[in-house]
Structure 1
Amino acid sequence: MYTFKKEERLCNKKLIDKLFHNGSSFLCYPFKISWLAAPANQQVPVQVVFAVAKKRYKHAVDRNLIKRRMREAYRILKQQALYDSLCAADKNILLSIGFIGKEIADYSMIEKKMLKTLLQVNTQALAALP
């Protein structure tokens, strides 16, 4: 239940390009979210990619810290906030979560914002997908 496996990571370059060119996006500070309806042959309801801008955080240590906190918050919250309702509706999505905050946030703040973000993705995806 609280896992984050390889199948859940978005690695396919063609799908990532499609996500950024054709997907819907919104801001939920400190995250910028892009999402797109995924092909039905996907094994998991959501494939996700996490990004932190090199321009804003010059040191890889800082970028990795933020991505680690984002992945952990996603891993804990994905089932209740996203997977249950998407599985019930038989929908699949591709998701990109980019960090646009100005300073390195502590885990509790990232977790709180991640929950809000995932619930917003959930409502948008269920409303938009046929």
Structure 2
Amino acid sequence: MSETSNEGPKTFSFSKKEKLKNKKLFEELFIGGKGISAFPVKLLYVRTQFDDGPHIKVGVVAPKKKFKSAVKRNRIKRLLREAYRLNKHLVFNNIEGDFAFLFLYLGKQMPTFEEVDTSIKQLLKGFLKKESHEKID
């Protein structure tokens, strides 16, 4: 498993400090967050300020309305977290400032990892494009 880059083996971790837990930030994301969609996942993000290290904090959501079973919701959330963990290097060193991310699953069927992975990649690349354009303007 030589998937580590020159930044060391910690590159692919998803530590406790990177998890979004602040209730006010969750509300802010839903009310005033900017959004990007790549079906079946939507990314809501907002610029914020963190004191404890990571530049990006991430939350994941699977709707109870569409997936009654907690087992299915938890599986979707695990897939979303794993796809983000493997692709966060696309964003981590390429942005300035702190952001809160929220990945929402929009689909009606259980996704495969490949579906989630490709949409997360599209979302992260779209986020970078959007943020770089906003900096220039």
1:11 is displaced (CA, Å) by: 0.2
The structure with the largest alpha-carbon Rg is: 2
Unaligned runs of 5+ in 1: none
Partner residue of 2:69? 59
TM-score scaled by length of structure 1: 0.89
Contact 2:36–2:123 (CA under 8 A) maintained in structure 1: no
Structure 1 stretches (4+) deviating beyond 6 angstroms? Answer: none
1:28 is displaced (CA, Å) by: 1.4
Unaligned runs of 5+ in 2: 1-10
The 1:40/1:6 distance shift into structure 2, 3 A limit, reads closer
The CA distance in 2 between the partners of 1:71 and 1:58, in whole Å, is 20
Code of the residue aligned with 2:93 in structure 1: it is D
Partner residue of 1:116? 122
1:126 is displaced (CA, Å) by: 2.9
Partner residue of 2:32? 22
TM-score scaled by length of structure 2: 0.85
Which has a greater percent of helix? 1
Residue correspondences, number: 126
Q: 1:94 aligns with which of 91, 100, 115?
A: 100
Q: 2:109 aligns with which of 97, 103, 108?
A: 103
RMSD: 1.6
Identity in percent: 26
The CA distance in 2 between the partners of 1:129 and 1:36, in whole Å, is 14
The CA distance in 1 between the partners of 2:77 and 2:121, in whole Å, is 16
